Amino acid sequence: MAPVTRLGEEMHALVERLYPLCRSITGDGVRATLDIVGEYVPLRVHEVPTGTQVLDWTVPQEWNIRDAYVADASGRRVVDFKESSLHVLGYSVPVAATLPLSELREHLHTLPEQPGLVPYRTSYYKPQWGFCLAQETLDRMPDGEYEVLIDSTLADGHLTYAEHVVPGQVADEVIVSCHVCHPSLANDNMAGVAVATFLARELAERTPYYTYRFIFAPGTIGAITWLARNAERVERVKHGLVLACAGDRGQLTYKRSRRGDAGIDRVMGHVLRTSGRPHTVDEFTPYGYDERQYCSPGFDLGVGSLSRTPYARYPEYHTSADNPDFVSPAAMEDTLAVVREAFAVLDRDRRYVNLSPYGEPQLGRRGLYEALGGRSDTKEAQMAMLWVLSLSDGEHGLLDVAERSGLPFDTVAAAADALRAAGLIKA
């Protein structure tokens, strides 16, 4: 990985700011998260009422929490939500009771295999309450009575998600989607949110070819809600990427779309392969993050997923060890660099038609050799022109040219620009 610049540090600072908030699939934690992201890029925030039918699902009641703890007989908080939002089972119904440890145990979640860590647990669709704590903490709790309090509200309200759009030269869209429903976990998925946010900011510095739509939504129900409310827009979504677990120190992993050969699959494969980075490409599975929804057969979008170490393949996954120290500025910067490069390829990958296809056109007469003068890669640039002319039959795009010729995509795209300027090819 390249040395960290200010960009990596800024993304990490954003992760640190977002990390403590108690997010869930609904509620004020999501809103507070979007407020902070909104300081970096303007967001359009959507509030969808409880009970709204979204595809086969229904928007649930909104969950909010103010305090939660388990206190011992002396009143000391042995488990305290104020120390970490992981300590409460997500979507816990309210409770205020005093009960013996033997009964309390049914509501306690630990990781006996990782006794020092607090697990992340939720119960969205089955009403219950619970606490998550380190096994070591539980082992130190003597028998006796404990006071438990969960000051939460489950009530009709809204599901909140947000979009940021970078307008392009065409209405066809690329979507970038990140889940914003996990509480105090850094890699999963505040790192993805930070990378998406900074990517959105960069893209807005020029007018990209595609229109880029960033979706910050709670996992599953949020993506389903977006799809339900954007049935017509989906036609215009040509490519997409789900960003998750984007900041750990492991190597990059790209998971293909369900189609397996969508434009994004080819571009990500090409960029990762030619970048020389160690990486993994996984086939699609109907599990994971919101690619599941975007790739469901009714929509069948060309949406892949980029992670560093994928979910559940690192021991810190869904535990208190997934904290801001677990994500690195350099890793986030590296993830951003790959997506930046991939989108640059997506944006320039066109099919052209050779307007002088009978024999090779005379390049010298058109000043095309001189145009290459001074380039350190003159020979490559010349080969790129010949390849573009040869494959510009309306069937092959510039990525095909780069793959078949083995030439860098940038060189091929520059050759196409020169040939188009000379009137030898047209899109």
Neighbours of 121 (CB within 10 A): 16
Q: Which is nearer to Zn ion, 188 or 403 (CB)?
A: 188
Nearest CA to 92 out of 152, 50, 30 is that of 152
3-state helix, strand, coil in the chain (%, to 5): 35, 25, 40
Q: Which is nearer to Zn ion, 191 or 407 (CB)?
A: 191
Nearest CA to 165 out of 99, 115, 210, 117 is that of 210
296: its two tokens: 């469901």
From the CB of 310, what's the least distance to Zn ion, in Å? 11
Q: Which is nearer to Zn ion, 188 or 334 (CB)?
A: 188
Nearest CA to 34 out of 193, 153, 185, 175 is that of 193
CA of 323: how far to CAs of 75, 117, 336, in Å?
29, 11, 20
From the CB of 176, what's the least distance to Zn ion, in Å? 18
From the CB of 221, what's the least distance to Zn ion, in Å? 14
Sequence-ordered list of residues with C-beta below 8 angstroms from that of 421, at least 6 positions apart, any chain: none
Question: How many angstroms separate the CA atoms of 69 and 80, rounded?
Answer: 5
Q: Which is nearer to Zn ion, 28 or 188 (CB)?
A: 188
Q: Which is nearer to Zn ion, 130 or 219 (CB)?
A: 219
Binding residues vs Zn ion (CB under 5 A): 188
From the CB of 22, what's the least distance to Zn ion, in Å? 15
Write the DSSP string, 134-199.
-HHHHHT--SSEEEEEEEEEEES-EEEEEEEEE--SSS-EEEEEEE---SS-IIIIIHHHHHHHHH
Q: Which is nearer to Zn ion, 194 or 425 (CB)?
A: 194
From the CB of 285, what's the least distance to Zn ion, in Å? 15
Residue nearest Zn ion by beta-carbon distance: 188
| Partners of 70 in the β-ladder | 79, 148
From the CB of 244, what's the least distance to Zn ion, in Å? 8
Could you tell me the strand order of the sheet in which 425-426 lies? Answer: 393-397, 351-354, 425-426
Q: Which is nearer to Zn ion, 10 or 188 (CB)?
A: 188
From the CB of 255, what's the least distance to Zn ion, in Å? 15
